[in-house]
Structure 1
Amino acid sequence: MSKALVIIDIQNDYFEGGACELVGAQEASLKAKELLEYFREKKMPVLHVQHTSLYEGATFFLPDTYGMKIHENLNPREDETIIEKNFPNSFLDTSLEYELQIREIKELVICGMMSHMCVDATTRAASDMGYGCTVVHDACTTRDLEFLGEIVPAKSVHNSFMAALEGTYAKMVSCSEIVSD
């Protein structure tokens, strides 16, 4: 079975000083970097997903800004595909499915940002489309959210979404479980 690494939205606006800073962005990106290096070493396919916000009133990932660029920890190589997207689901109106099909990919290893939005939407869509999904939970992160006037800490948001995906939609693993093979 052919496997690929899908790195979702590890872009500058999510890091310290960015327009939508996440909790633990640097740490998650370093885990994603380990995965990237592992996949490169094994000569397995890597697809980078890069979000650009096109809707009126967007505050981050604005076109042609530093914030929308892929973070330096995950700089794509020339031979690695960059999938441009405008929605949380990395398959919606993108070339991702085509890129996976031409490589005969059946299994996805997924990491990135934000756990509660783009990682969740992409994993659910991939699973629904028949892909085997593995989410590397420590190579993902998110931010605090608010619901009914109460702040929900990023760690709780992340853990809740990982727990909801586990089993039905994806296998959950740590970075070390992947790179120790």
Structure 2
Amino acid sequence: MTDGLDQNYAKAYDGKAGFGKSPALILIDFVQGYFDPSCDLYADVDEALASALRVREAAHKAGIPVILTNVVYHPKAINGGRFFEKATPLRYFLEGSPMGDWPEGLQPTEDELVISKQYPSAFFGTSLASTLTSLGVDNVILTGLTTSGCVRASCVDAMSHGFITTVVRDACGDRHNDPHEANLFDMQAKYADVVSEDAIIAHLGALTQS
């Protein structure tokens, strides 16, 4: 291939999903383990959280559903399955672990739904798809941690469940920039529109005004 990366992919993957009429915001796995240097999961993701909180504020102003996810396992990891066996840092998410708590600045409100999961996707083995469908949601806006893990898995499943999928670049984070950028590139190419914080806040602002 003599084309550059962008030119190469544009030949096959250059579509736009656009925004839906009835969005919901999902904050994926913003939990303490990613913010505590003593935890194996620690990553430099403070800016991603700050961005997600700004998007969350805009979502509340627009009156759209806001859903948070976390990962919680039985104290003996009975429900951990192969994912728990493979990814050893998941031991930090055993029920009652402080690493599974919400980080400073993020506390679910009484109007927000929390969905606990055991696998990467926010949809797998949870009621999320049914809940969104019952609420009339057609567009899922994704933020969260990590870009290459649970965000990507949730993105693929959101699209597969028939939701227009939007990923907010600034509001996602990973432990290294390379997998972060590679997965944003791939999601943009095949599964979702990857947009900036400014773009999604402007969109939500337009919904508020209408």
Same fold (TM over 0.5): yes
Q: CA separation of 1:92/1:45 partners in 2, compared to 1, >3 Å: closer, same or farther?
A: same
Partner of 1:123: 155
Q: CA separation of 1:27/1:97 partners in 2, compared to 1, >3 Å: closer, same or farther?
A: same
Give the Cα separation in 2 of the matches to 1:120 and 1:18.
Answer: 26
Quick check: 2:129–2:161 contact (8 Å CA) kept in 1?
Answer: no
Between Structure 1 and Structure 2, whose CA radius of gyration is higher? 2
Equivalenced residue count is 171
1:25 to 41, 45, 56: 45
TM superposition score normalised by structure 1: 0.88
Higher strand share: 1
1:167 to 176, 189, 199: 189
* Percent of aligned pairs sharing the same letter: 28
The answer on 1:70 being equivalent to 2:102 is yes
Which ranges of structure 2 fall in alignment gaps of 5 or more residues?
Answer: 1-20, 206-210
Tell me the CA shift for residue 43 of structure 1: 1.2
Partner of 2:177: 155
The answer on 1:179 being equivalent to 2:205 is no
User: Deviation per CA, 1:53-106, whole angstroms, max 9, x where unpaired?
Assistant: 433664322211211112232211012110110000111111111210111111
Q: CA RMSD in A?
A: 1.5
Superposition map of 1:51-66 within 5 A: 51-53=71-73, 54=77, 55=80, 58-66=90-98
The answer on 1:111 being equivalent to 2:143 is yes
Q: CA separation of 1:41/1:20 partners in 2, compared to 1, >3 Å: closer, same or farther?
A: farther
Tell me the CA shift for residue 18 of structure 1: 4.8
Give the Cα separation in 2 of the matches to 1:137 and 1:120.
Answer: 12
The farther-off stretch of 110-119 and 59-68 is: 59-68
The farther-off stretch of 15-24 and 163-172 is: 15-24
Indicate the SS of the match to 1:73.
Answer: coil
* Matched residue type, 1:43: G
Quick check: 1:22–1:141 contact (8 Å CA) kept in 2?
Answer: no
Indicate the SS of the match to 1:108.
Answer: strand
Higher helix share: 2
Give the Cα separation in 2 of the matches to 1:134 and 1:125.
Answer: 12
User: Deviation per CA, 1:4-43, whole angstroms, max 9, x where unpaired?
Assistant: 0011000000103352344321111000000111101111
